[in-house]
Amino acid sequence: MAIFEIIDTRRLGLEQSEFDVKLVEGEIHPKQIFRFEERGTVWEYVILEVRRDGETATLLCAGWVPATGAFVGFQPQTKTLNKPERKRWARALPPDF
């Protein structure tokens, strides 16, 4: 479980996105999920890959952002995927995930 601050986002089509983040607490790992609410809409992302660079990291995630630069300043918390979440995300995740 980790808490991080989003410092930039990039839309990579309709299936994936990248988040540049600054770690606040804990450790970020692939196969974790994070969600947050913005203007009444719940946004949810599954972390596929983590590329670390000192105190910051780039997260490759399943799910799309509405626009590049969206959600900057948000501080979501990660958690491990549970069985219902795995089932819900099955089509967007790689087969060996």
**Residues 28-74 pLDDT 10s:** 999 999 999 998 999 999 999 999 998 899 999 999 999 999 999 99
Query: In whole angstroms, what is the distance from residue 42 CA to residue 40 CA?
Result: 7
Q: Which of 1, 43, 45 is nearest to 23 (CA)?
A: 1
Under CATH, which number does the domain 2-92 receive? 2.40.10
User: Given this model, what pLDDT does residue 76 score?
Assistant: 97
pLDDT at 55: 86
Average pLDDT score, the chain: 93
The predicted structure's pLDDT at residue 20 = 98
10 Å CB burial of residue 85 (0-12, 13-18, 19+) is: middle
Residue 83: how many CA atoms within 13 Å on its side-chain side?
A: 0
The answer to whether residue 77 scores a pLDDT higher than 80 is yes
pLDDT above 70 as % of the chain: 100
CA nearest neighbour of 9 among 40, 34, 41: 34
Domain ranges of the chain: 2-92
